[in-house]
Structure 1
Amino acid sequence: MANLAVAEALPDILPPIRRRGPVRTFIARHPTLVLGAGLLLLLVLTAVLAPWLGTLDPGALAPARRLRPPSGNNWFGTDQLGRDIYSRVIYGTRASLMVGFGVSLLSSLVGLAIGLVSGFVRWSDGLIMRAMDGLMSIPPVLLAIALMTLSRGSMGNVILAITIAEIPRVSRLIRGVVLSLRDQPYVDAAIACGTRTPMIIFRHILPNTLAPMTVQATYICASAMILEAILSFVGAGTPPSIPSWGNIMAEGRALWQVKPYIVFFPALFLSTTVLAVNLLGDGLRDALDPRMVKGV
């Protein structure tokens, strides 16, 4: 045993495996989700911290300083009434995010309830879906404008009008998911065991609809912010006393050719916000759908 030779260690052919932390792994797998969530979080912080970001009173009039270009005193310039555009754009973030999140939440909850009932209770499907088809036949902008003409301009009425226009899209999505689930063997087994319909919906159907509904909610949020800007731009949205990106662009459209900065900055913030929400939606779709995960 003492005369046995010991072989030399073989050289490493494969490079050593580098182990990354859970945060770096998540970022590498879902860069779109991280980028969208980061941009949206930055905008939410901007809305919350608006009074501490060097802003002035967004409604303060200063005729002596009207139509001044961007400078050190007024970063985004001033409008035709001398109001600071930077302050109005920063405070306008609150209006757009409030409308987007509010419409997304309300339309998702109502559309979820309608889609669950329509998809699982067969006798109600035709009646409910014909009503939803009737609402979807009207363009969302025209439907929202028509609803706003029946009430005075306010943030709550804008949210309600856009919510009614978005409910049919959520309900049809949920209905399609429920139709594919109600014939599954575990649903048939629950029915055979005598489980009541509400229990089947809440225990077996509802959990499988949350992922597609979450992704759809992000797209509705982006669409709602665009609709709010359109309504405010045509004078049917939030009142002029509430600074919103649509109101700012509407007030500066007559001076677009000579003072483009009045429209440019709110349009830039609106585009960035919509981009962030859409990136978040795409990232959630990839993360929640196993077939979309890269490397699988």
Structure 2
Amino acid sequence: MSATALRADGQAAGAAHAPTPMSVAEAAPLPDVLPPVKPRRGFIGFLRRNPTIAFGAGLLLLMILVAVFAPLLWTVDPTALAPARRTREPSAEYWFGSDMLGRDVYSRVLYGARVSLIVGFSVALLSSAVGLAIGLVSGFVRWADGIVMRIMDGLMSIPPILLAIAMMALTRASVQNVIIAITIAEVPRVSRLVRGVVLSLREQPYVDAAVAAGTRTPRIIWRHILPNTLAPITVQATYICASAMIVEAILSFIGAGTPPIIPSWGNIMAEGRALWQVKPYIVFFPAIFLSVTVLAVNLLGDGLRDWLDPRMAKSV
């Protein structure tokens, strides 16, 4: 290396270590405006990011446990009659009091949770499955759309409670018939929701590419359309579950639902309405349990909607 090159390197190194002139001010380091983000992972992190899902699922799980373990929660036979102990106030012996036939209201309310939950979950599952199939066919097969949806529009023109009452009037009172009646009333709403989603999906480029490649229609529906409809139909199923519980209680309250020998929240409230002014606890306790259960399902549905919808995401 030449002497000139060594001199130039020495001058450059000296300039790098030279002190800053007094006339030049150094800027202070910028503070951290945003704190470091600590990603929350795992199940606990998911619950912290989605408190609505956590609260709603917790309440619903509590009601399910109450229904499943009702025989172990210091209950008695909910159909046992004790005329000598009728209309007892809530006490240590009768936690929720007794009705006009001497039956323990606490035991009847806990066992009644089974009927409401079975009806709610069954209607949500059946109506979602049937409505999904109808919506997929109606939304993707153009020639079937006009026929199927006109039938669904005709069913939707009838209020669900009136349609359920009409169905129950043609059959005998039972839990199975209540489930079938409410399911028939809810299927049109699910099918219209799925049809709307399918109508927007079938215009996507990947669907056009699958059609151009010669893919059969059933395979296109199964591989490309169905997975994209699961999120909205899951949220809709939670609202159907809550609605089915309310409709079941209404049917039982007016005597068109489950038989009186089966304890359900609607039956308990129907039997206590005659004594509402003097013995309000007979109606109060089943009404509270019904309200809490419906609230839990609705909160779960709202949380699932916010979680599954990317437009509602709170973080990137």
Fold in common (TM above 0.5): yes
Question: Counterpart in 1 of 2:91?
Answer: 71
Q: Does 1:188 align with 2:208?
A: yes
CA–CA separation in structure 2 for the residues paired with 1:19 and 1:270: 38
- Cα distance, 1:27 vs structure 2: 2.1
CA–CA separation in structure 2 for the residues paired with 1:267 and 1:295: 38
Question: Counterpart in 2 of 1:7?
Answer: none
The structure 2 residue matched to 1:110, chosen from 130, 139, 142, is: 130
CA–CA separation in structure 2 for the residues paired with 1:124 and 1:278: 34
Relative to the length of structure 1, the TM-score reads: 0.94
Q: Does 1:215 align with 2:265?
A: no
Q: Give RMSD over aligned pairs.
A: 1.6
2:140/2:199 contact within 8 Å kept = yes
Question: Counterpart in 1 of 2:65?
Answer: 45
- Cα distance, 1:293 vs structure 2: 1.4
Aligned length: 288
CA–CA separation in structure 1 for the residues paired with 2:174 and 2:257: 7
Question: Counterpart in 2 of 1:203?
Answer: 223
Relative to the length of structure 2, the TM-score reads: 0.88
3-state secondary structure, aligned to 1:82:
coil
Paired residues for 1:122-201 under 5 Å: 122-201=142-221
CA–CA separation in structure 2 for the residues paired with 1:68 and 1:266: 16
- Cα distance, 1:290 vs structure 2: 1.2
**Which segments of 5 or more consecutive residues in structure 2 lack a partner in the other structure?**
1-16, 18-27
Question: Counterpart in 2 of 1:287?
Answer: 307
What do residues 153-197 of structure 1 show as CA deviations (whole Å, max 9, x unaligned)? Answer: 001000000000000000000000000001111111111111111
3-state secondary structure, aligned to 1:74:
coil
Paired residues for 1:94-105 under 5 Å: 94-105=114-125
CA–CA separation in structure 1 for the residues paired with 2:314 and 2:273: 45
What do residues 89-120 of structure 1 show as CA deviations (whole Å, max 9, x unaligned)? Answer: 00000000000000000000000000000000
3-state secondary structure, aligned to 1:257:
coil
CA–CA separation in structure 2 for the residues paired with 1:150 and 1:42: 36
Opposite residue 50 of structure 1, the aligned amino acid is A
CA–CA separation in structure 2 for the residues paired with 1:205 and 1:291: 20
Q: Does 1:119 align with 2:139?
A: yes
2:40/2:46 contact within 8 Å kept = no
- Cα distance, 1:295 vs structure 2: 2.8
**Which segments of 5 or more consecutive residues in structure 1 lack a partner in the other structure?**
5-9
- Cα distance, 1:25 vs structure 2: 2.3
- Cα distance, 1:39 vs structure 2: 0.5
Opposite residue 90 of structure 1, the aligned amino acid is L
3-state secondary structure, aligned to 2:110:
helix
What do residues 65-87 of structure 1 show as CA deviations (whole Å, max 9, x unaligned)? Answer: 10001000110000000000000
Q: Does 1:254 align with 2:274?
A: yes
What do residues 218-275 of structure 1 show as CA deviations (whole Å, max 9, x unaligned)? Answer: 0000000000000000000000111000000000001101100000000000000000
- Identify if the C-alpha distance between structure 1 residues 19 and 169 changes in structure 2 by more than 3 Å, giving closer, same or farther: closer
- Cα distance, 1:24 vs structure 2: 3.6
Q: Identical aligned pairs, as a percentage? A: 76
- Identify if the C-alpha distance between structure 1 residues 152 and 197 changes in structure 2 by more than 3 Å, giving closer, same or farther: same
CA–CA separation in structure 1 for the residues paired with 2:73 and 2:30: 56
Task: Indicate the larger mover: 45-54 or 286-295.
Answer: 286-295
CA–CA separation in structure 2 for the residues paired with 1:271 and 1:92: 13
- Cα distance, 1:11 vs structure 2: 11
CA–CA separation in structure 1 for the residues paired with 2:201 and 2:161: 33
3-state secondary structure, aligned to 2:135:
helix
Question: Counterpart in 1 of 2:298?
Answer: 278
What do residues 28-75 of structure 1 show as CA deviations (whole Å, max 9, x unaligned)? Answer: 210001100010011111111000001000000000110001000110
3-state secondary structure, aligned to 1:162:
helix
- Cα distance, 1:291 vs structure 2: 1.1
Q: Does 1:32 align with 2:52?
A: yes
Q: Does 1:232 align with 2:247?
A: no
- Cα distance, 1:294 vs structure 2: 1.2
CA–CA separation in structure 1 for the residues paired with 2:45 and 2:97: 43
